[in-house]
Amino acid sequence: MSRLAPFALLAVLLAAWEIAVRAMHVPAYFLPAPSAVAVALAENLPTLVAASWRTLSTALVALVLASLIAQALAIVTALSPLADRAIRPLASVVQVTPVVAIAPLVLIWAGIDHPERALVTLAVLVAFFPIFSGAAAGLRSADPDLERLFALYGAGRWQRVVRLRLPSAVPFLLEGHKVGAGLALIGAVVAEFGAGSGGVRGLAWQILDAGNKLQTARMIAALMVLGAMGVALHALLEAVERAGLKWWRGR
Amino acid sequence: MTAVAALNNVEVDYDRGRALGPVSLEIGAGETVALVGPSGCGKSTALRLLAGLEAPTRGTVTRAAGRGQTAVVFQAPTLAPWLSARANAALPLELAGMRRAEAYDRAGAALARVGLAGAEDKRPAQLSGGMAMRVSLARALVTEPKLLLLDEPFAALDEITRRALADDVLSLWAAAKPAIVFVTHNVEEAVYMAARVVVMSKGPGRIAGDFAVAGPMPRPPHFRTEAPFRATAEQVSAALAEGIAA
């Protein structure tokens, strides 16, 4: 029963919206009725799905790259305190700089023929930090008594990283990747906005294009697809995190 | 009797002040020694010195420094949650460069010795507190150490489990005769587990008494009710009370 509650609320809100728009004769370019959005969604579904896939694939490629770079750097910081002190402040700079502010610069560097490279780069910049900070914290989270045992048994630095610190970091890495994947998707969409009409024809481009043509129903339809994609990605990553923790703990 | 480890006039200072010493203590080969004292008296620090996990501020520590010759069991099982019982027990051997197949064989044998045959593939999260402690014991024994250091290993277990484990540790000791140093704040456990009980005074800890416990090792049934046990326990308690009052 309580699982149905959000859907019931949604139905009530949609009904109120439909009735209000019809009763007050709100112009369609300002606020189309839900039924008009549904029609726009059905008509444009193939284009919207293709556009979603473009955005999603940008985010996924960015997630893989961010994961590799962040983990490699985190391991370097775990191996060398000097590298740790050098890398951390710079990593924070990447975190606090808004992606929209970097977008124009990265678009210039990627070149006009390769906007997709700029989009991936920008999404990597956004997804990098949660994975890096998760990995860095995880690599320090090993049980201190286990660290002492490794010292007692004469383990080398590399052995400690591979056999103790990296496995200890797994729960932190799972969490970092979950947050990072969500941010990669947001980063990809924001970067598409930054790239503007000359960019890759992903979901953000669909929203911009529909907005320029005052096709408000199509704009909302694209937003709904974006929302659905975000929810699906989040649910998938929650499941991956749960399964990963179960595998790690054996229970 | 040759010494496997010794503290020679050691003192340990931490930022908050003196934690231990001066203390001199010699552990003979195959000897079972219990270190008793109030909390904060530095007995765990003394154990870490013997393990080589810490260095003294003053004085010297001599120990058989060979890889795997010293083993430590901590208060918590300290197992890697992502590894099976077998892989946890095999860890010291693998870190020393032994091939996995052989390390796993020996770990399996060590687990059987502590009564965990059949639980080799279980993860720490699937084991009870007592079983996890046994895995920790198997990991300590797998390298056949000359010196086994136990830091309040049964403190978190219930009375029945701790008694069973105490007897198991003693029969394991009888099989390979490592020197055992056992830290506890439980007087009866100390007298039961060790042939020699060293009492430490409150921090910074010094040695307040050194008692030999008469009786066979491993302990016969009902040893706790016999006169020598009771008498030594009384002596140790008295020395402990004096050390706390001092």
Q: What is the pLDDT of residues A216-238, one digit of tens each?
A: 999 999 999 999 999 999 999 99
Closest CA of chain B from A246, distance in Å: 10
Verify that B96 and B129 share a domain, yes or no: yes
Residue B100 in any domain: the answer is yes
**Would you say B114 and B134 are in contact if contact means Cβ atoms under 8 Å apart?**
yes
Are both B10 and B117 inside the same structural domain? no
Q: Nearest chain B residue to A165 by CA: give it.
A: B80
User: Is B69 domain-assigned?
Assistant: no
Contact B95 A159 (CB under 8 A): yes
What's residue A158's pLDDT? 87
- Interface check A245 vs B, CB under 8 A: no
Instruction: Answer yes or no: do B32 and B97 share one domain.
Output: no
Instruction: Verify whether the Cβ–Cβ distance B80 to A159 is below 8 Å.
Output: no
- Is residue B38 situated within a structural domain? yes
Please report whether residue B70 resides in a domain.
Answer: no
Shortest Cα–Cα distance, B225 to chain A (Å): 36
Residue in chain A lying closest to B122 (CA) = A250
The pLDDT value recorded for residue A199 is: 63
End-of-domain residue from the set B126, B145, B164: B145
Cβ distance of B125 and A152 shorter than 8 Å: no
- Domain-located, residue B75: no
Pair B29, B125 in one domain: no
Please report the pLDDT score of residue B246 as a whole number.
63
**B158 and B193 fall within a common domain:** yes
Residue among B74, B78, B95 whose CB faces A153 most closely: B95
- All residue ranges of chain A with pLDDT < 50 are none
B137 and B158: one domain? Answer: no
Does one domain contain both B60 and B150?
A: yes
* Alpha-carbon gap, residue B83 to B80, rounded angstroms: 6
Query: In this complex, do A152 and B51 lie within 8 Å of one another by their Cβ atoms?
Result: yes
Strand partners, B72: B149
Inter-axis angle of helices B129-141 and B85-95, nearest 10: 20
The pTM score is: 0.83
Question: Are both B114 and B169 inside the same structural domain?
Answer: no
Let me know if residue B218 belongs to a domain: yes
Q: What is the pLDDT along chain B (246 residues), one digit of tens a residue?
A: 578 888 888 888 888 888 887 888 889 888 999 998 888 788 888 888 898 888 888 888 888 766 668 899 998 899 999 999 999 999 999 998 899 999 999 999 999 988 888 889 999 999 998 899 999 999 998 988 889 999 988 887 888 888 888 888 888 888 888 999 999 888 888 888 888 989 888 868 888 888 888 888 888 888 888 888 888 888 888 888 887 776
What does the pLDDT read at residue A112?
A: 78
Task: Among B116, B145, B174, identify where a domain stops.
Answer: B145
Q: Is B156 touching A (CB cutoff 8 A)?
A: no
CB–CB contact B125 A249 (8 Å): yes
Among all residues of chain B, which has the CA nearest to that of A157?
A: B95
pLDDT in tens, A168-209: 999 999 999 999 999 999 999 988 888 776 667 888 889 988
Shared-domain flag, residues B112 and B17 = no
CB contact under 8 A, B72 and A149: yes
Residue B25, domain member (yes or no): yes
- What domains can you pick out in chain A, each with its CATH number? 36-250 (1.10.3720.10)
Instruction: Quote the pLDDT of residue A198.
Output: 63
Q: CA-to-CA distance for B243 and B45, rounded, in angstroms? A: 18
- Distances in Å between the Cα of B245 and the Cα atoms of A103, A189, B202, B208 are 72, 71, 8, 11
Q: What is the pLDDT of residue B67?
A: 66
DSSP secondary structure string for all residues of chain A: -TTTHHHHHHHHHHHHHHHHHHHHT--TTT---HHHHHHHHHHHHHHHHHHHHHHHHHHHHHHHHHHHHHHHHHHHHHH-HHHHHHHHHHHHHHHHS-HHHHHHHHHHHH-TT-HHHHHHHHHHHHHHHHHHHHHHHHHT-S-HHHHHHHHHTT--HHHHIIIIIHHHHHHHHHHHHHHHHHHHHHHHHHHHHHHGGGS--SHHHHHHHHHHTT-HHHHHHHHHHHHHHHHHHHHHHHHHHHHHHHHHHT-
Nearest to B104, CA basis, from B85, B123, B119: B85
CA distance B139 to chain A (A): 10
CATH number at residue B174: 3.40.50.300
What confidence score (pLDDT) does residue B53 get? 86
Same domain, B156 and B34: yes
Q: In DSSP terms, which residues pair with A229 in a beta bridge?
A: none
Task: Output the CA–CA distances (angstroms, integers) from residue B99 to A154, B92, B95, in the order listed.
Answer: 16, 12, 10
Number of domains in chain B: 2
Residues B191 and B210 both lie in one domain: yes
Contacts of A153 in chain B (CB under 8 A): 67-68, 91-92, 95-96, 143
Determine the distance in angstroms separating the CA of A60 from the nearest CA of chain B, rounded to an integer: 28
Which residues form the domain of B111?
80-145
Residue of B nearest to A159 (CA): B95
Contact at CB, A249 and B81, closer than 8 angstroms: yes
Which of B99, B126, B145 delimits the end of a domain? Answer: B145
Residue B177 lies in a domain: yes
Chain A hits for B95, Cβ within 8 Å: 150, 153-155, 159, 163
- B36 with B90, same domain: the answer is no
pLDDT at A39: 94
Amino acid at B74: F
Q: Is A17 on the interface with B (CB under 8 A)?
A: no
Model pLDDT, residue B65: 60
